[in-house]
């Protein structure tokens, strides 16, 4: 008798994250979180986007270079970033 081998199991090694929603990007989620009236801290962004702090700061820098005005408030315990205004074409 010959043994039948079953096909190998497919495993999904991707982490399910809060931003894995259909039609949304992490950059779009970043803009949404920064557009809130209170803005967002790096810790909040890290938790929501599952990014490292240096990645968050780099993405904020790219937004600034693209013409988005971002306010940095250091008055509280944690620094808060908030979008103040965007370019007209965004």
Q: What percent of the chain has pLDDT over 90?
A: 66
Q: What is the pLDDT of residue 10?
A: 63
Within a domain: residue 78? yes
The boundaries of the domain holding residue 76 are 26-85
How many domains does the chain fold into? 1
Q: Using the Cα atoms of residue 40, residue 44, residue 46 and residue 48 in order, give the sign of their dihedral.
A: negative
Annotate 29-79 with three-state secondary structure: HHHHHHCCCCCEEHHHHHHHHCCCHHHHHHHHHHHHHCCCEEEEECCCCCC
Residue 44: alpha-carbon gap to chain centroid = 10
Structure tokens, 27: 């950059």
The CATH number assigned to the domain holding 37 equals: 1.10.10.10
Q: What percent of the chain has pLDDT over 70?
A: 71
pTM score, two decimals? Answer: 0.69
Q: What is the pLDDT of residue 19?
A: 43
Within a domain: residue 74? yes
Question: Is residue 20 over pLDDT 70?
Answer: no
Within a domain: residue 51? yes
Q: What is the pLDDT of residue 85?
A: 83
């Amino acid at each position: 008798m010959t043994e039948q081998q079953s096909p190998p199991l497919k495993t999904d090694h991707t982490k399910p994250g809060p931003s894995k929603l259909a039609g949304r990007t992490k950059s779009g989620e970043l803009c949404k979180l920064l557009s809130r009236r209170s803005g967002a801290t790096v810790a909040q962004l890290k938790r929501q986007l599952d990014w490292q702090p240096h990645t968050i700061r780099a993405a904020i820098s790219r937004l600034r270079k693209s013409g988005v005005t971002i306010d940095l408030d250091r008055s509280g315990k944690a620094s808060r970033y908030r979008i103040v205004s965007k370019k007209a074409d965004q």
